[in-house]
Structure 1
Amino acid sequence: MDGSFSSSSLSADVESTPADLGIGNDERRMHVRAYNYWASLLGGREFPSIEDLDGRDVQDFADHSVLLDFTVSPDNPATSYIGAAIRAECEIEDEVRSIADVPSRSLLSRLTDHYLQIIANRAPIGFEAEFTNQRGHDICYRGILMPFSSDGQTIDFIYGVINWKDGAGLAPSIVPALAGEDDVLDLVEAIDPLDDEVAPTLDADAGLADRLSAARETVEVLKAADGRTRAALYRALSLAYDFSVAARRVPEDYAELLEDAGVKAQARAPMTPIVKLVFGVDYDKARLTEFAAALAFAERSDVPFEGFLDFIEQHSGGLKGLVAAEREARRPDNRVDNRADQARTKLRTAHAQSLSALAGNDEFTLVLVRRDAQGRVEPVSAVADLGLLEKALRKIA
């Protein structure tokens, strides 16, 4: 991050206003204070160090905060800390120890659902929306997630702050601008079926610029959300897919459109510039990522020109199913790693050593012990990796 992110931008990407959601200045200031604290720890780095996150400095919003720890599992981060106010609202105690344990219809899930956006954008994310909680109450919430790192490069901790109010009596359908996958995709799947009225007319020999214009026209219908959100979204994605197919046929024209829009081509993610051109570079980044994933899976599946609508309608789960399928397709093969088993075999026959011999001259040493067949505990090896030592110390803290 270049340091240009400012507290005023916390709500820059949010479609709903405080008046819409019933969240006032006190709650808004809480998130500004949280962001300002995060920014104060940067010190010219891309991310603050997790070592600098001091509980004494965040007492103002600690009860409304969560700390996610990715060092144990990048796919299922641990909920190292959950504030008392969040626990009370979500009616949870110590049973929630990781993301997988978070109740799906709880306020906590509204916060944790956004963590992939942090990984993708490598910058703080602010969001606000309305949802119905586990007690059937309409809750309006505002939150912010901020990345932390243990090595200055990897996002292995995320600190989040969220505040909320009972939104009884508010309009039932306020679309979150920075919503998680379930919020956005469940909403668009639930609205009207496809409606041909939202489809601009295109000649068979339409040029690339005309196809882009038609796709953008449908996006305007989508933004208006005139009772046809799902129809407009599917049509816009269909036109975006056809645009991508046409772009491969005339790469020079496509390159010119990218240059005019100030969008860069991405060899490793070719559908990302496509959706930026169609939906706009300022469109919600999380949704752009999902749209690009859906188009990428269609391409992976060899969907023909003008075949996207049938493809998404027939695919299990619709848009959400396409996104999940593409993410699964990108997942690297699980490789068998036998090193841990080899180490266990070796350490079973290793000679026991004294703790003084293993400790060396350092103040702290991470020591591996073995329990033999008689139940005796014996030190057998010292772990020299300072990174593992630091993680162990943080776990103890």
Structure 2
Amino acid sequence: MDMARGINEPLDPARRGSNDDAVADRPLDIGADERRMHVRAYNHWVSLLHGRAYPSIEDLDPDNITDFGPHSVLLDFTRGVEDPAIRYLGGMLREECGFTPAIQHVGEVPSRSLLSRLTDHYLQIIANRAPIGFEAEFVGQRGHNTLYRGILMPFSSDGKTIDFIYGVINWKELVDAETQARLNAEVEESRRAAPQNPVAAAVWADGPSAGFESPEPVEAPLHGSSLADQLLLARESAAAARASDTRSRSALYRALSRAYDFARAAEEAPEDYQGLLRDSGLTVQARAPMTPAVKLVFGVDYDKTRVTEFAAVLSYARRQAVPQGGLDAFLEVVEGGIKGVVKAEREHRRPAPKRDVLARAAEEMRSRPPLGHVAIEAGQDEFVVLLARAGNRGLDIVARFADDAALTERAIRKAAA
């Protein structure tokens, strides 16, 4: 491992088990491009789960992850959460932070270093018990404004306790305003002179120098591509949404939009769709037609409540004829967002309430002509049960049951039957 002196002792199997005031961290909207470092790191974390709540620390080998390992750090909590040890630090981070062998714990990390942007978030992992993505900017040790994106992921030595956290961060230093203005002008001039490229480049696709300030592309549905390709694209969006924490609304909306596009494309390729369903052991039920599509995109073991809600969103969009490629924009403006759509779809599916049997029986009794009249005080109740015995001149009333609602209801239903 690329470790500092004093940190590079092997992991013991017996033990494995000040931000700038003006800069606020915000949920990370990673986007859909699978090439991005944070999505790749999250997908690697998922690949190590193997049905467990957290991946085993035994399965993590950052020194051999050439992709994002140099941008990563491993924190060890086996001796407590107050000041975790730094067990691994990638070469790129080491060089950027000017890391020295004397720094062996989080509490010794300089507050103005890029590494502190990762270590400042580790308590969020303990509290949320799930990967956390974030992005922000700060003035670094060299006095340069730096934009960064990071993700922290929990690991465990026993499958239950979070006692290690693995973080990956990417960054870009900004130039001064004059230089940036000149570069922007040159880029704009080049853009006007160059032929238009219909394929939008991903934001920050392969490193800190790759277009950090470019807006997210608005991508059209992949008409003409195979259904499997559309499923792959939708799965990448779902992974990105989970990597940036599902509380990132725009990432979740994008993932749902891709899932919707896939579901609509499946309608045009039913044989291919059935093949994908068979491969995943799924079937379509008439009462929940969108559920299999959601499971294909988000995973067959994804939270059942979320699957039901997402399927309701797709069904509502289909019923409202939302065009492909437009569900994310629709969710941005519809009243109540996802929750509002789910509520509306559930109300649409809810069958019309059956008329109450007692109400129908009471209405029947109101329309019948009286058999006779008895001069007894009726009280507040509309219907009263009377007990009579046969007399010489008809029926003699001997008792009334005005305070027995259950008996009265049974008598009304019986009389109307």
TM-score (norm 1): 0.40
More helix by share: 1
Bigger RCO (CA 8 Å, 6+ sep): 2
Look at both structures and tell me which one has the larger radius of gyration over its CA atoms.
2
